[in-house]
Amino acid sequence: MTASQDNVTLVTDPIDRITPTGIVSGGVEREVDIIAFATGFKANDYLWPMDVLGRGGALWAKDGPRAYLGEIVSDFPTC
């Protein structure tokens, strides 16, 4: 997995500590504006009781919910 912008760094090393201005991991302090913790929660479980149907029938049966850039879902019309 890589970051999609030049000014974004995806760091997957364990965090040693959080400082007032950044994060220390692997003995290196990185200044940060935002810390996003992705801890393995099941974000797609909210769809569990629903059947989402598109032009071709049921969606997301194999691999869970997805959308291009979080905005466009395949097999649905766009405005």
What residue numbers bound the domain in which 32 lies? 1-40
DSSP 1-53: ---SSTT-----SPP-EE-SSEEEETTEEEE-S---------GGGGGTT---E
Number of domains in the chain: 2
pLDDT per residue, tens digit, the chain (79 aa), is 566 788 887 888 899 999 999 999 989 999 988 887 766 666 666 666 677 777 777 766 666 666 666 666 766 665 5
- pLDDT computed for residue 24 by the predictor: 95
Phi, psi of 44 (to 5 degrees): -90, 0
Domain co-membership, 25 together with 52: no
Handedness of CA 63, 3, 34, 11 (dihedral sign): positive
pLDDT at 79: 56
- Measured CA angle at 33 (ends 28, 34), to 5 deg: 95
Give the per-residue pLDDT at 23.
Answer: 93
48 and 35 in a common domain: no
